Amino acid sequence: MSFETPITRDGDSLRGPLRAPAQMLAEQEYAGHTSVHDDETAAKLGLAGAPIEGPTHFSQIDPLAVDRWGRAWFEHGCVSSHFLNMVVEGEQVRTALEPVTARLARIVAEKADATPVLTGTASVGRDEPAELDERRQRGLGDPGQLYIVDQLEIGMRVSIPEPVTMGFDDHNGNLYPFTLAQKLDRITERSSWYLPDGDSPWGRPIVPTEMISVIAHQSNAHFPVRGPAIGLFIDLEVRFVDGPVFVGQPYRVDHTLVGIGQTKRVESYWTESIITDAQTGVHAATVLLHQGVFKASYAQYPS
């Protein structure tokens, strides 16, 4: 059965329905303080509201990609996106997939009033171009004078000593203060492949794409970024290398710092996280995350 999502077709182009994604990070905590997903913290930064976490929108892309490529999406698919505008709870979002080739498509997410939320690519296979290929290269240049991520160096590595597992009722830590079961109860797109008694073609329930970044970062292992300061996601790519990623399976996670940069409002860094099956050694997925830290949120930032 897979997804219940109604899809609108225009030739090969696919469009999902308007959905109102849920805010599930209001109680997020890291480094001993609240995050940008807290209303009061967001207001201090001049934001209209506490944003919903960017990966949440990936769940609206999954049914379109499965319609296009079937089970291969969760085996060798890649969603690569640049976030453009924040979404707060109560706002509606829709996604669309526009094929470019048999294995590559453009994706967009936008609000009900057509305000863009994200843009990017969806593809299957290892050789297709991805949205973040070029953007990632910018993080290899000279970022200029830094005050928050100045201790970082490209090539730094952090390995999680113990395997991580995402069971249905496992709490995912202070960074992600909810369980997979709670997420599936509020997820925008329901799929029988996610359920313990479902009909997954792999014979086991799989983890939704939006939760792969949670597996990658639930341990809260981090590079030496100065703080306290408030961060946000700028770009995110989830690539299934030899997937799917399964519920309840232990995985090793290894992080490598692959880029550093800054804009007028943020200093930023790129992390590549390799997710490997702890029992078989199979490289299941890679998460590429570009996260920024608001300069205005760091008390010691020069005027």
pLDDT, tens digit, for every residue of 281-296? 999 999 999 999 999 8
List, for residues 205-254, the tens digit of each pLDDT value: 999 999 999 999 887 667 899 988 888 899 999 999 999 999 999 999 99
CA distances (Å), 94 to each of 56, 60, 67, in order?
12, 7, 16
Query: In the beta sheet, which residues pair with residue 30?
Result: 33
Q: What is the pLDDT of residue 1?
A: 57
Q: What is the pLDDT of residue 157?
A: 96
Q: How many CB atoms lie within 10 A of CB 153?
A: 11
- Region class of 231: left (phi > 0), else alpha (psi between -120 and 50), else beta: beta
Element holding 218 (H helix, E strand): none
Range list of H helices, 26-116: 39-44, 58-69, 72-76
pLDDT class for 37, splitting at 50, 70, 90?
very low
Residue recorded with tokens 């480094």: 31
Global pTM reads: 0.92
Q: At residue 31, does pLDDT exceed 90?
A: no
Whole-number Å distance between alpha carbons of 263 and 295: 10
List, for residues 142-173, the tens digit of each pLDDT value: 999 999 999 999 999 998 889 999 999 988 76
Dihedral, CA atoms, 247, 253, 256, 257, nearest 10 degrees? 60
Element holding 187 (H helix, E strand): none
